[in-house]
Amino acid sequence: MKESLAYFNHWLSFYYEKKDLFLKDPFIQEKLELLKKAIEKSRQAFIEKGSFAFCSACANSGEKCCKAGLEWKLSPAEFLINLLLAETYSLPLAFNTSRKEDCLFLGEKGCSLILTPIFCRNFFCDKLVKHLGHANLTYIQQAMEEEATLGFIVANYITTKLLQKEGTKHGA
């Protein structure tokens, strides 16, 4: 975990150096608002179909699927999007530095990210799939499409337009 902590702390410093550039970019401003609505739409679908409640009960029973190493599924651009979103919501984005067996982003009440990595968004374990059933799973997956598209558009914009010059320095 030490390596990923140093890596994301590095991007955190980068964010604080450049955040005015991100926050004032008209394209980011516009798309971020749309992305917030899309994330909320996905969240509502997870709540409505009982997925969050099922995973919460599972996690409370001691089973965890947010294991150490999964933080690497989040790209630098997606991490920067999370910092921007956290800023607009005035929410903290704390790292897990105490439980080395867990993902760096796993907080006491679940994932501390607002936009989770694509891998995590698409992960439905067998028992969750069984619990939800085909119709509910399809409903959730369809509700998540807008978030996936907008998340990709914003991440791609950040990577190609804003991180290009920083690529060599920051390993993006």
| Pairing between β-strand 106-107 and β-strand 110-111 as defined by DSSP bridges | antiparallel
Contact 42, 147 (CB under 8 A): yes
CB of 75 to ligand SF4, least distance (A): 12
Per DSSP, helices labelled H in 25-125 are 26-48, 51-60, 76-89, 118-121
CA distance 134 to 149: 23
Rg (the chain; Cα; Å):
16
**How far is the C-alpha of 94 from the C-alpha of 86, rounded, in Å?**
10
7 or 54: CB nearest ligand SF4: 54
Between 22 and 105, name the residue whose CB sits nearer to ligand SF4: 105
Quick note: the x/- pattern for ligand SF4 over 63-82, rule CB under 6 A, is: x-xx---xx-----------
Site for ligand SF4 contains 172 (CB under 6 A): no
Q: Considering beta carbons, is residue 102 or 163 the nearer one to ligand SF4?
A: 102
What stretch of H or E contains 15?
Answer: helix 2-24
For ligand SF4, the binding residues in 82-121 under the rule CB under 6 A are 103, 105-106, 111, 113, 116-117, 120
Looking at beta carbons only, is 38 or 106 nearer to ligand SF4?
A: 106
If residue 148 lies in a helix (H) or strand (E), which one and from where to where? helix 145-157
Q: How far is the CB of 34 from ligand SF4 (least distance, A)?
A: 22
Residues interacting with ligand SF4, by CB under 6 A?
54-55, 58-59, 63, 65-66, 70-71, 103, 105-106, 111, 113, 116-117, 120, 125, 127-128
